[in-house]
Amino acid sequence: MISPLPTFYLIVPVFNELGNLDRLLASLRLVTESHAERYRVRFVVVDDGSSDGTPERVRDLGRDLDLDLDLLANPVNQGPGAAFARAFEHLAATLDPSDWVLTLEGDNTSCSELIGQMFRRAEESYEVILASPYMYGGGITNTSPLRVFMSHMANAFVKEMLGVHGILTMSSFFRLYRGSALLKLQAYYGPAILERRGFECMVELLLKMIYLRMTISEVPMLLDTSLRTGKSKMNVTRTISGYLALSRRTSEWHRVAQRAPLPELARSPS
Protein backbone atom coordinates (compact mmCIF):
# COMPACT_ATOMS: atom_id res chain seq x y z
CA MET A 1 0.00 0.00 0.00
CA ILE A 2 1.34 3.45 -0.89
CA SER A 3 1.66 5.69 2.16
CA PRO A 4 -0.09 9.06 1.73
CA LEU A 5 2.48 10.66 4.06
CA PRO A 6 5.98 11.79 3.08
CA THR A 7 8.73 9.58 4.49
CA PHE A 8 11.20 10.80 7.08
CA TYR A 9 14.34 8.67 6.72
CA LEU A 10 16.95 8.50 9.47
CA ILE A 11 20.31 7.24 8.24
CA VAL A 12 22.73 6.04 10.93
CA PRO A 13 26.18 4.61 10.17
CA VAL A 14 27.42 2.37 12.98
CA PHE A 15 30.71 0.72 13.73
CA ASN A 16 31.10 -1.11 17.04
CA GLU A 17 28.41 0.93 18.81
CA LEU A 18 26.95 -1.85 20.96
CA GLY A 19 27.17 0.23 24.15
CA ASN A 20 25.22 3.10 22.58
CA LEU A 21 22.49 1.35 20.64
CA ASP A 22 19.81 0.82 23.30
CA ARG A 23 19.71 4.47 24.22
CA LEU A 24 20.06 5.62 20.63
CA LEU A 25 17.19 3.60 19.22
CA ALA A 26 14.96 4.24 22.24
CA SER A 27 15.42 8.00 21.83
CA LEU A 28 14.84 7.76 18.08
CA ARG A 29 11.68 5.76 18.78
CA LEU A 30 10.34 8.91 20.46
CA VAL A 31 11.10 10.77 17.25
CA THR A 32 8.98 8.27 15.38
CA GLU A 33 6.12 8.84 17.80
CA SER A 34 6.35 12.61 17.70
CA HIS A 35 6.36 12.70 13.87
CA ALA A 36 3.85 9.93 13.25
CA GLU A 37 1.07 12.26 12.14
CA ARG A 38 3.17 14.02 9.52
CA TYR A 39 5.63 11.43 8.27
CA ARG A 40 6.17 7.76 7.87
CA VAL A 41 9.46 7.28 9.77
CA ARG A 42 11.99 4.79 8.39
CA PHE A 43 15.43 3.94 9.73
CA VAL A 44 18.38 2.97 7.56
CA VAL A 45 21.22 1.68 9.73
CA VAL A 46 24.49 0.80 8.00
CA ASP A 47 26.79 -1.50 9.90
CA ASP A 48 30.33 -1.75 8.69
CA GLY A 49 31.92 -4.95 9.83
CA SER A 50 31.39 -4.42 13.57
CA SER A 51 32.85 -7.18 15.73
CA ASP A 52 30.94 -6.42 18.95
CA GLY A 53 27.47 -7.67 18.01
CA THR A 54 26.20 -4.29 16.78
CA PRO A 55 24.15 -5.57 13.79
CA GLU A 56 22.47 -8.31 15.86
CA ARG A 57 21.52 -5.78 18.56
CA VAL A 58 20.19 -3.33 15.95
CA ARG A 59 18.00 -6.08 14.54
CA ASP A 60 16.70 -7.07 18.01
CA LEU A 61 15.98 -3.49 19.01
CA GLY A 62 14.29 -2.77 15.70
CA ARG A 63 11.93 -5.65 16.38
CA ASP A 64 11.39 -4.88 20.09
CA LEU A 65 10.76 -1.19 19.48
CA ASP A 66 8.69 -1.91 16.38
CA LEU A 67 10.82 0.31 14.15
CA ASP A 68 10.49 0.39 10.38
CA LEU A 69 14.16 -0.39 9.90
CA ASP A 70 16.44 -1.47 7.07
CA LEU A 71 19.76 -2.82 8.29
CA LEU A 72 22.42 -2.74 5.60
CA ALA A 73 25.57 -4.58 6.52
CA ASN A 74 29.03 -4.45 4.98
CA PRO A 75 30.94 -7.58 6.00
CA VAL A 76 34.24 -5.67 5.89
CA ASN A 77 34.82 -2.20 7.31
CA GLN A 78 34.85 0.44 4.55
CA GLY A 79 34.39 3.70 6.46
CA PRO A 80 31.48 6.07 7.15
CA GLY A 81 31.62 7.63 3.66
CA ALA A 82 31.08 4.23 2.07
CA ALA A 83 28.24 3.61 4.56
CA PHE A 84 26.45 6.86 3.66
CA ALA A 85 26.98 6.15 -0.05
CA ARG A 86 25.34 2.77 0.42
CA ALA A 87 22.41 4.33 2.28
CA PHE A 88 21.88 7.04 -0.37
CA GLU A 89 21.97 4.42 -3.09
CA HIS A 90 19.46 2.38 -1.09
CA LEU A 91 17.07 5.36 -1.02
CA ALA A 92 17.51 6.25 -4.69
CA ALA A 93 14.68 4.10 -6.02
CA THR A 94 12.02 5.29 -3.57
CA LEU A 95 13.00 8.79 -2.44
CA ASP A 96 10.41 11.44 -3.24
CA PRO A 97 11.07 15.20 -3.41
CA SER A 98 8.64 15.73 -0.50
CA ASP A 99 10.51 13.29 1.78
CA TRP A 100 13.04 14.28 4.43
CA VAL A 101 16.36 12.61 5.26
CA LEU A 102 18.23 13.00 8.54
CA THR A 103 21.80 11.76 8.84
CA LEU A 104 23.13 11.28 12.35
CA GLU A 105 25.74 9.56 14.48
CA GLY A 106 25.20 6.24 16.18
CA ASP A 107 26.95 7.19 19.42
CA ASN A 108 24.14 9.29 20.99
CA THR A 109 25.92 12.61 20.41
CA SER A 110 23.44 13.79 17.76
CA CYS A 111 20.81 15.20 20.15
CA SER A 112 17.40 14.21 18.92
CA GLU A 113 15.88 17.23 20.74
CA LEU A 114 17.36 19.36 17.95
CA ILE A 115 15.33 17.68 15.21
CA GLY A 116 12.26 19.87 15.78
CA GLN A 117 14.37 23.01 15.43
CA MET A 118 15.99 21.65 12.27
CA PHE A 119 12.56 21.08 10.74
CA ARG A 120 11.39 24.55 11.72
CA ARG A 121 14.43 26.04 10.01
CA ALA A 122 13.94 23.86 6.94
CA GLU A 123 10.35 25.05 6.70
CA GLU A 124 11.74 28.55 6.09
CA SER A 125 12.52 26.88 2.73
CA TYR A 126 16.15 25.87 3.27
CA GLU A 127 17.16 22.68 1.50
CA VAL A 128 19.69 21.50 4.07
CA ILE A 129 20.15 22.20 7.79
CA LEU A 130 23.43 21.48 9.56
CA ALA A 131 23.68 20.93 13.32
CA SER A 132 26.54 23.23 14.17
CA PRO A 133 28.83 23.01 17.20
CA TYR A 134 30.97 25.86 15.84
CA MET A 135 28.10 28.31 15.67
CA TYR A 136 27.36 30.87 18.40
CA GLY A 137 25.14 29.07 20.92
CA GLY A 138 26.69 25.69 20.14
CA GLY A 139 29.86 24.19 21.53
CA ILE A 140 31.79 21.12 22.48
CA THR A 141 31.63 19.94 26.08
CA ASN A 142 33.17 17.21 28.22
CA THR A 143 36.17 17.15 25.89
CA SER A 144 39.68 18.25 26.79
CA PRO A 145 40.56 21.88 25.91
CA LEU A 146 43.34 20.57 23.65
CA ARG A 147 40.91 18.45 21.62
CA VAL A 148 38.43 21.32 21.38
CA PHE A 149 41.21 23.60 20.16
CA MET A 150 42.40 21.04 17.61
CA SER A 151 38.90 20.48 16.38
CA HIS A 152 38.38 24.26 15.84
CA MET A 153 41.73 24.46 14.04
CA ALA A 154 40.86 21.51 11.77
CA ASN A 155 37.48 23.05 10.92
CA ALA A 156 39.09 26.42 10.11
CA PHE A 157 41.87 24.79 8.09
CA VAL A 158 39.45 22.78 5.94
CA LYS A 159 37.38 25.90 5.25
CA GLU A 160 40.41 27.90 4.16
CA MET A 161 41.89 25.07 2.12
CA LEU A 162 38.64 24.55 0.22
CA GLY A 163 37.67 28.24 0.01
CA VAL A 164 34.37 27.85 1.87
CA HIS A 165 33.07 30.98 3.54
CA GLY A 166 29.89 31.60 5.49
CA ILE A 167 29.42 28.04 6.73
CA LEU A 168 30.48 27.43 10.30
CA THR A 169 30.54 23.64 10.68
CA MET A 170 32.05 21.65 7.85
CA SER A 171 31.99 18.02 8.85
CA SER A 172 29.11 17.28 11.21
CA PHE A 173 27.22 14.05 10.41
CA PHE A 174 24.05 15.48 11.90
CA ARG A 175 22.08 17.12 9.07
CA LEU A 176 18.55 17.35 7.72
CA TYR A 177 18.02 17.24 3.95
CA ARG A 178 14.94 17.78 1.84
CA GLY A 179 14.31 14.76 -0.38
CA SER A 180 14.43 17.12 -3.37
CA ALA A 181 17.96 18.22 -2.39
CA LEU A 182 19.27 14.65 -2.25
CA LEU A 183 17.55 13.81 -5.53
CA LYS A 184 19.24 16.79 -7.11
CA LEU A 185 22.63 15.68 -5.75
CA GLN A 186 21.97 12.19 -7.14
CA ALA A 187 21.00 13.62 -10.52
CA TYR A 188 24.41 15.27 -10.80
CA TYR A 189 26.71 12.93 -8.90
CA GLY A 190 25.00 9.53 -9.21
CA PRO A 191 22.85 7.56 -6.74
CA ALA A 192 25.62 7.11 -4.14
CA ILE A 193 26.50 10.85 -4.34
CA LEU A 194 29.77 10.29 -2.45
CA GLU A 195 33.21 9.15 -3.58
CA ARG A 196 35.18 9.49 -0.37
CA ARG A 197 34.93 6.61 2.08
CA GLY A 198 36.29 8.18 5.24
CA PHE A 199 35.13 10.87 7.68
CA GLU A 200 35.85 13.54 5.05
CA CYS A 201 32.69 12.40 3.24
CA MET A 202 30.53 15.03 4.94
CA VAL A 203 32.80 17.79 3.64
CA GLU A 204 32.55 16.27 0.15
CA LEU A 205 28.76 16.36 0.43
CA LEU A 206 28.78 19.95 1.66
CA LEU A 207 31.03 21.04 -1.23
CA LYS A 208 28.74 19.39 -3.76
CA MET A 209 25.75 21.18 -2.21
CA ILE A 210 27.59 24.50 -2.40
CA TYR A 211 28.56 23.90 -6.04
CA LEU A 212 24.88 23.24 -6.79
CA ARG A 213 24.04 26.52 -5.02
CA MET A 214 21.70 24.89 -2.53
CA THR A 215 20.24 26.84 0.36
CA ILE A 216 21.96 25.80 3.57
CA SER A 217 21.38 26.91 7.15
CA GLU A 218 22.77 25.89 10.54
CA VAL A 219 21.33 25.48 14.02
CA PRO A 220 23.56 25.59 17.10
CA MET A 221 24.36 22.25 18.70
CA LEU A 222 26.14 21.43 21.94
CA LEU A 223 28.28 18.38 21.22
CA ASP A 224 28.47 16.52 24.53
CA THR A 225 30.89 13.63 24.26
CA SER A 226 29.87 12.31 27.70
CA LEU A 227 26.64 11.06 26.08
CA ARG A 228 28.49 8.25 24.33
CA THR A 229 30.21 5.17 25.64
CA GLY A 230 33.46 4.16 23.96
CA LYS A 231 35.92 6.25 22.04
CA SER A 232 35.89 8.10 18.74
CA LYS A 233 36.56 5.88 15.74
CA MET A 234 37.98 8.74 13.74
CA ASN A 235 41.57 8.17 12.74
CA VAL A 236 43.10 11.66 12.70
CA THR A 237 45.91 10.96 10.21
CA ARG A 238 43.62 9.18 7.78
CA THR A 239 41.06 11.97 8.02
CA ILE A 240 43.66 14.69 7.36
CA SER A 241 44.87 12.83 4.29
CA GLY A 242 41.21 12.45 3.27
CA TYR A 243 40.76 16.24 3.49
CA LEU A 244 43.84 16.75 1.33
CA ALA A 245 42.48 14.26 -1.19
CA LEU A 246 39.24 16.28 -1.36
CA SER A 247 41.12 19.31 -2.60
CA ARG A 248 42.27 17.32 -5.64
CA ARG A 249 38.66 16.58 -6.66
CA THR A 250 37.00 19.96 -6.17
CA SER A 251 37.49 21.28 -9.72
CA GLU A 252 35.91 18.13 -11.18
CA TRP A 253 32.94 18.31 -8.76
CA HIS A 254 32.54 21.97 -9.59
CA ARG A 255 32.58 21.18 -13.32
CA VAL A 256 29.92 18.48 -12.87
CA ALA A 257 27.65 21.00 -11.11
CA GLN A 258 27.84 23.33 -14.14
CA ARG A 259 26.51 20.76 -16.60
CA ALA A 260 23.01 19.30 -17.03
CA PRO A 261 22.03 16.54 -14.60
CA LEU A 262 22.04 12.90 -15.70
CA PRO A 263 18.66 12.62 -17.47
CA GLU A 264 17.72 9.20 -16.09
CA LEU A 265 18.11 10.49 -12.54
CA ALA A 266 16.66 13.94 -12.91
CA ARG A 267 13.44 13.41 -10.94
CA SER A 268 13.77 16.38 -8.66
CA PRO A 269 12.13 19.72 -9.38
CA SER A 270 15.16 22.03 -9.46
Under the rule (CB under 6 A), what is the footprint of ligand GDP?
Answer: 13-15, 17, 46, 48, 77, 79-80, 83, 105-107, 173, 232-234
Integer Cα distance of 202 and 223 in angstroms: 17
**Of 140 and 212, CB closest to Mg ion:** 140
Q: What is the smallest separation between the CB atom of 229 and Mg ion, expressed in angstroms?
A: 11
Beta bridge partners of 13: 46
Query: Which stretch of DSSP H or E encloses residue 220?
Result: strand 216-220
Q: What is the smallest separation between the CB atom of 21 and ligand GDP, expressed in angstroms?
A: 10
Integer Cα distance of 240 and 236 in angstroms: 6
**Residue among 186, 176, 161, 173 nearest 234 (CA):** 173
Subset of 108-167 contacting Mg ion (CB under 5 A) = 109
Q: Which does 99 bind (CB under 5 to 8 A by kind): ligand GDP, Mg ion, none?
A: none
∠ Cα 166 171 175 (to 5°)? 85
**Of 7 and 109, CB closest to Mg ion:** 109
Does the footprint of Mg ion cover residue 17 (CB under 5 A)? no
Q: What is the DSSP secondary structure assignment for residue 179, as one 8-state letter?
A: H
**Of 17 and 218, CB closest to ligand GDP:** 17
Q: Where are the alpha helices (DSSP H) in the chain?
A: 18-35, 54-64, 80-92, 115-122, 145-162, 179-189, 201-211, 236-247, 250-258
Q: What is the smallest separation between the CB atom of 142 and Mg ion, expressed in angstroms?
A: 12
**How many chain residues touch Mg ion (CB under 5 A)?**
3
**Of 98 and 241, CB closest to ligand GDP:** 241
Q: What is the smallest separation between the CB atom of 108 and Mg ion, expressed in angstroms?
A: 8
Q: What is the smallest separation between the CB atom of 92 and Mg ion, expressed in angstroms?
A: 27
Query: What is the pattern of x (binds Mg ion, CB under 5 A) and - over residues 88-107?
Result: -----------------x-x
Q: Which amino acid, 119?
A: F
